Copies of this chain bind each other. A is one copy, B any other.
Amino acid sequence: MDIVHVERKILQKNDDIAAGLRKRFTDSGVFVVNLLSSPGSGKTTLLERTIASVGGRLRMAVVEGDVQTDRDARRIASTGAPVVQIITNGACHLEARLVDDALESLDLDSCDVLVIENVGNLVCPASFDLGEHHKVVVVSTTEGEDKPLKYPKMFHVADVCIINKMDLLPHVDFSVERFRKYATEINPGLTFFETAAQPGNGLDGWLAWLRSGHQRCVQATAARAR
Contact = CB atoms under 8 A, between A and B. Distances in A.
Copies of this chain, complex-wide, total 2
A146 interface: yes
Interface string A185-219: 00000000000010000000000000000000000
A119 interface: yes
Contacts of A122: 39, 120-121
The 4 closest A-B pairs by CB, nearest first: A40-B143, A92-B123, A142-B142, A38-B39
Interface stretch (A17-25, A26-34, A51-59, A164-172): A164-172
Interface of A: 2-3, 6, 10, 38-40, 66-69, 71-72, 90-92, 119-124, 127, 140, 142-144, 146-147, 149-153, 165, 167-168, 171-173, 197
A125 B203 CA distance: 34
A66 B40 CA distance: 20
